[in-house]
Amino acid sequence: MMSVLALLVWLANITCDTIGQLSFKAAAVKSAEHSGLSHWKDMAKGPWLWVGILFYIVEFVCWVAFLSLVPLSVGVMLASINIVVIMVAGRIFFGEQLTGWRLAGMTLISVGVAVVGLGGQ
């Protein structure tokens, strides 16, 4: 089993990654009425791009801390759950579709993460 500290850092990593991805999506959607360079300028003027960058910096620190607490092979497998959390958050906040194939993939990822998480170090 993971230590309590490793679990907390893992959860912080998942949270920061999810908030970062949602922020980037919000920035992209908000400035979608523009194209080309004006699209990028519009994103840079809004807060969401910068919120995403900030959370990615924090996520990077959490990731390095997490890898200092668990073997790389375990850390990478456990980080795969981020994909599932981000897909669910995309559905909740942006109404993105969860097709049968995506749900099957999410299930396989979740089972794999559970197996690794329960398998210990």
What is the DSSP annotation of 35-98? -HHHHHHHHHHSHHHHHHHHHHHHHHHHHHHHHHHS-HHHHHHHHTHHHHHHHHHHHHHH----
64: tokens are 């390095």
pLDDT at 120: 56
At 27-41, the pLDDT tens digits run 988 876 777 888 888
At 57-97, the pLDDT tens digits run 999 999 999 999 999 988 988 888 999 999 999 999 999 99
pLDDT at 121 over 70: no
The verdict on pTM exceeding 0.75 is: yes
First to last CA, the chain: 7
Q: How many CA atoms lie within 13 A of 49 on its CB side?
A: 13
